[in-house]
Structure 1
Amino acid sequence: MDLKQIRYFIVACEMRSLSRAAEVLGLSQPSLSRQIQLLEAELRHHLLIRTGRGVEPTPAGLRFLAHAQALDDLAQHARQDMRAYASTSQAKVRLGMPHRVARRLAPHIVQSFRRQHPHAALTLAEGLSLEMNEWLVKDRVDLALLYDPPPSTLVRYESVYREDLVLAYGKSCRPAPPPRVRARDLGRYPLVLPSAPNTIRALVDKTCRDLSVALDIAAEVDVVHTILETMTQESLYTILPRSALNDMQGQDYLICSEIIDPVIMNNLTLATPIRQTLPPFVESTASIIRALDMKQLFA
């Protein structure tokens, strides 16, 4: 069944005149009549009947008109969708991630994105979680991976990976903590922690505040690598995600103790703007992230 013939039939029914329909469609009247005759021959029904004022659909024509309109609507929707796809085939998806997360996930995300969308581009931005949450609201990124973001009416959060925080220290550190340290005992250890606002600091502060534990903050340092370097100079301790111990080469001297009662867990979330549907490339990127084996990648 020819979609053009279906369109011609619909316009003829709307115009109630073959001459006016031909004018609207940019055809000669004989050409329009011929196409409708071919449609009638395929359907084996007369669809239009001539009257003194033009044409009217026959009972069979009225029955087919409902199908024709549905088919035409679907064809129009398909055309619009493909035009939209063509216009965005060179689109960029802007993804924000914390630095440490980017080092672990970016190669895998880029590889999958490139394989699925060879004609599109993925732009990666790195920053702090709080900073990127603002970027998302201000439309500077399309989606982001954030640690423990604050509640928002403008952003939707979806947890993709949770990891426990540990008490880390050098092998020569004294006193050496036991393999498992209760959260209420964290005040015994001089800590090097990031300054507020920071997601790790916020988690530790909240846990200790709930337990009425006063922390011994020896120094505030915002970069993980600098924290680890600082700890080599003295008997200092820090609290960080377990996987962070493996992020810096040559850190074999570091060991850690589990924190228990309670376990302190961070929460890596996939953040997207709250809207009914995401653009196709953004939704595809989100699906790529959801499909990653986070446990293995953060091991």
Structure 2
Amino acid sequence: MDLRQLKYFVKIVEQRSMSRASVELHVAQSALSSQIASLETRLRQKLLIRRSTGVVPTEAGQALYKHAVAILRQVERATHDVERSGGEPSGPASLGLPVVVEDLLALDLFVAARARLPQVTLHLSEGMSYLLKEMVLQGRLDMTVTYQFEPSPGIVEHPLFTEMIYLVSPAKSGVKPHKEMSLAQAVQYPLVLSSPQTAMRRVVQAGLAAANLTVTALAEIDSLKTLVDVVEQGHAHTVLPASALQRQLKTDGGDSLVLTPLDISRNVVLCTSEHLPLGVAGTAVYELLEDVVRKALKERRWLGIGPSTGSPSG
């Protein structure tokens, strides 16, 4: 396939308009249409549908779009690395961070990147862990921090750390601090939990399945702030990982929350694509993130968080 045709196709899909893509690319609309027609003939598939609301990809077009974005990104990365070979790392590098882990890692990584990789433009993307992993597979992100749950085809996982999971209770509930509580005991309390597709909920469901238990949540809330607010105001309990509770852990739970470690934990990993190699900038950020984690673990700055087997160590 012609790289120029892929570039045109991607721009049309993203702009949802042939005319807007024409303006962005500084290419006549008739030339764009001709190139897309040639691409459709080459692939023997209809790729775009023109509607009154705009241009949308067909199912075949959606499949091509994912590959085209990855291909163009790899070509751009390869060109940049060859042109800048021998110099210090430079150019863009992107990292996905799930909402819960962002507060733990983002600021330290940003500061370290400014000091040690001044020529690298770091892009941090926040989102749900499964969506971030999909973006890595599509080549839209270089790497993402996520949670080890089950193998994902095309994804390589590098262990970063293991974190404890806590029952988070309102102080007014009368729950007394425990050294540890079983998940079976925790689900006896009225719970608000995140939705089933989130990594935290999947950890809870796996623990329940292992114990042949079920739970009915009072509500499903994906917002971390709202979950904590609901608990602080005494409406329910919830289950959260150590990464989401560093402020509370460092103040012994404060006056509004009681934190009880559960008999479950989860592994946090750094994911890259098996098929799309990192460029120089991406590799430098990957190694820098390992150093940031290694330093935090060595200094024991994160409570309830420790090394994973095979994770960076001091």
The normalised TM-score by structure 2 is 0.62
**Map of 1:8 onto structure 2:** none
CA contact (8 A) 1:130 1:149 kept: no
In the TM superposition, what whole-angstrom CA distance separates every residue of 1:48-94 from its partner, at most 9, and x where no partner exists?
Answer: xxxxxxxxxxxxxxxxxxxxxxxxxxxxxxxx987442799651001
**Map of 2:280 onto structure 1:** 280
Matches within 5 A, 1:33-112: 83-85=83-85, 90-112=90-112
Bigger mean CA deviation after superposition, 152-161 or 247-256: 247-256
Q: Secondary structure at the match of 2:136?
A: helix
Structure 2 CA distance, aligned partners of 1:204 and 1:149?
A: 11
**Map of 1:266 onto structure 2:** 266
AA partner of residue 257 (structure 2) = L
Larger radius of gyration: 1
**Map of 1:123 onto structure 2:** 123
Change (3 A) 1:85 1:232: same
**Map of 1:185 onto structure 2:** 185
Q: Please state if 1:227 is matched with 2:227.
A: yes
Structure 1 CA distance, aligned partners of 2:201 and 2:81?
A: 46
Structure 1 CA distance, aligned partners of 2:283 and 2:89?
A: 15
Structure 2 CA distance, aligned partners of 1:170 and 1:234?
A: 5
Change (3 A) 1:272 1:217: same
Q: Secondary structure at the match of 2:187?
A: helix
Structure 1 CA distance, aligned partners of 2:279 and 2:123?
A: 16
Bigger mean CA deviation after superposition, 178-187 or 220-229: 178-187
CA contact (8 A) 1:186 1:215 kept: no
CA contact (8 A) 2:168 2:231 kept: no
Q: Secondary structure at the match of 1:180?
A: coil
Structure 1 CA distance, aligned partners of 2:213 and 2:276?
A: 44
Structure 2 CA distance, aligned partners of 1:276 and 1:220?
A: 36
AA partner of residue 118 (structure 1) = P
**Map of 1:151 onto structure 2:** 151
In the TM superposition, what whole-angstrom CA distance separates every residue of 1:137-183 from its partner, at most 9, and x where no partner exists?
Answer: 11111111112354222110111011010111111114557442122
Change (3 A) 1:236 1:176: farther
**Map of 1:133 onto structure 2:** 133
CA contact (8 A) 2:89 2:284 kept: no
Structure 1 CA distance, aligned partners of 2:184 and 2:177?
A: 13
AA partner of residue 238 (structure 1) = T
CA contact (8 A) 2:154 2:274 kept: yes
Deviation (angstroms), 1:126? 0.8
**Map of 2:51 onto structure 1:** none
Deviation (angstroms), 1:184? 2.4
CA contact (8 A) 2:90 2:281 kept: no
CA contact (8 A) 2:168 2:238 kept: yes
AA partner of residue 273 (structure 2) = P
CA contact (8 A) 2:165 2:241 kept: yes
Matches within 5 A, 1:15-30: none
Q: Secondary structure at the match of 1:146?
A: strand
Deviation (angstroms), 1:106? 1.7
Unpaired stretches in structure 1, ≥5 consecutive residues: 1-79
**Map of 1:202 onto structure 2:** 202
Percent identity over the alignment? 22
Q: Secondary structure at the match of 1:136?
A: helix
Structure 2 CA distance, aligned partners of 1:123 and 1:243?
A: 21
Structure 2 CA distance, aligned partners of 1:89 and 1:213?
A: 51
Unpaired stretches in structure 2, ≥5 consecutive residues: 1-79, 304-314
Structure 1 CA distance, aligned partners of 2:276 and 2:216?
A: 47
AA partner of residue 236 (structure 2) = L
CA contact (8 A) 2:142 2:278 kept: no
C-alpha RMSD of matched pairs (Å): 2.8
Structure 2 CA distance, aligned partners of 1:201 and 1:101?
A: 15
Structure 2 CA distance, aligned partners of 1:268 and 1:177?
A: 26
